[in-house]
């Protein structure tokens, strides 16, 4: 087991139905009001609303099991155009609208360049004894094409994610948090990233 471990969380969609709800000028619930203020709200909290169970699972899981080196954040969120942000970094409606205009595509320079810059910096700051776990899809290259260049064999993902949909992954992570038990991490390089859908999670009492 490596001495240190940090987590990278794939982003929530800023262009879906839940984004339209939270970005409405008429929205009066507390999170919407905070996002419209200059102070904003933590990006982790905003993405938790936008993505529901899946991002809630990623955020709670990462906060529970991160073991970062001194001076390095344990939980970072991938953004569409601003690279990597700490999960507690404030975001505003202005930021969310800007994210919605940039596709998460490795061929999109507005997405790729900031992410590559921040990933390279993080790889240097975290050092060789720190594993980096991606909590997000590894079935496509939209994250991996950039992150592998920075982290190489240190880039891991949960083996149990293979074949599961987003909701199943979210539920699984929340269960593991409640149990205090981590998933099995395997290197992205050379791993099977697609597979048969595993059995549904058993209903909890």
- If one counts the domains in the chain, the total is 1
Nearby residues of 160 by Cβ (< 8 Å), 6 or more positions away: 172, 183, 184, 198
Contact 119, 146 (CB under 8 A): yes
Q: Does residue 151 form part of some domain?
A: yes
Residue 127 in any domain: the answer is yes
* Closest CA relative to residue 78, chosen from 4, 35, 33, 135: 135
CATH of the domain at 126: 3.40.50
Q: How far apart are CA 106 and CA 142, in angstroms?
A: 5
Mean pLDDT per 10-residue segment, the chain (205 residues): 88 92 93 96 97 94 97 97 97 96 95 98 96 92 92 95 91 97 91 54 56
The answer to whether position 50 is within a domain reads: yes
Q: Is there a domain that residue 140 lies in?
A: yes
Residue 34 lies in a domain: no
Measured distance CA(22)–CA(91) in Å, rounded: 13
Evaluate whether residue 111 is within a structural domain: yes
Note whether residue 196 is domain-resident.
no
- Within 10 Å of residue 191's Cβ, how many Cβ atoms? 12
In terms of residue numbers, what domain contains 130?
4-13+43-89+103-187
* 178 located within any domain: yes
Report the candidate in 201, 47, 15, 195 with the shortest Cα–Cα distance to residue 135: 47
Q: What's the pTM value of the predicted model, to 2 decimals?
A: 0.91
């Amino acid at each position: 087991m490596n001495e240190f471990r940090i987590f990278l969380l794939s982003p929530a969609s800023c262009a879906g139905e839940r984004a339209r709800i939270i970005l409405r000028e008429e929205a009066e619930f507390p999170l919407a009001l905070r996002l419209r203020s200059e102070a904003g709200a933590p990006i982790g909290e905003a993405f938790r609303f936008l993505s529901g169970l899946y991002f809630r699972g990623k955020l709670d899981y990462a906060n529970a099991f991160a073991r970062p080196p001194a001076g390095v954040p344990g939980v970072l969120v991938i953004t569409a155009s601003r690279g990597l942000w700490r999960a507690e970094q404030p975001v505003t409606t202005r930021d969310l609208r800007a994210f919605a205009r940039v596709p998460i595509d490795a061929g999109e320079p507005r997405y790729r360049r900031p992410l590559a810059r921040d990933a390279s910096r993080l790889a240097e700051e975290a050092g060789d004894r720190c594993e980096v776990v991606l909590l997000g899809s590894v079935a496509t290259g939209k994250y991996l094409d950039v992150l592998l260049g920075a982290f190489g064999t240190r880039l891991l993902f949960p083996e149990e994610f293979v074949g599961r949909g987003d909701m199943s992954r979210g539920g699984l992570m929340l269960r593991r948090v409640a149990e205090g038990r981590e998933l099995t991490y395997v290197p992205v390089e050379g791993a099977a990233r697609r597979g048969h859908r595993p059995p549904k999670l058993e209903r909890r009492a």
